[in-house]
Amino acid sequence: MVGIQACFRLNPDTERGLQLFDVTDPANPAQIGFLDTGGFARGVHEFTAVVRPDGVFALLTVPFSQDRDIAGRGDLRIADVSDPANPVEVADFHFERDAGLPGNNEGFGCFPSNFAHGAAANAAGTLAFVSSFDLGTVILDISDPTDPSFVGQT
């Protein structure tokens, strides 16, 4: 898997999202799937994969989605990548909409922003720890990956 970001996010022709590759032959990787994260958001900045009994899920951070995604999706996206040729976004989490936290432009300091930068999961894949500028770490219950819920923040 490879996260693709658009350096020039306003160009609608710039592809952004998650690429999935078959690396059976490491010298010749072949792209087998792609998950588009939508126009005008920058794309996948960082991600991590979680292997659970019910599937393989990618926790994708798509900075500034909360303000820029046409569909209004949040900065954290959860994708089912169990079938790498057909990845499917199963949920998103929007800090302001889903947890009542400050919006993207309500931070502090010289770069006042609240956007997801990275994400990791616990060993069981039931909790997500989302690193956010100015919000610290946002903790989510992802025991149901289609319905993430706010637990707290540090």
pLDDT in tens, the chain (154 residues): 999 888 766 677 778 899 999 999 999 999 999 999 987 778 899 999 999 999 999 999 998 887 788 788 889 999 999 999 999 999 999 988 999 887 767 777 677 777 889 999 999 999 999 998 888 899 999 999 999 999 999 9
**Any residues with CB less than 8 A from the CB of 116 and at least 6 apart, and which?**
45, 61, 62, 63, 74, 75, 76, 95, 130, 131, 132, 138
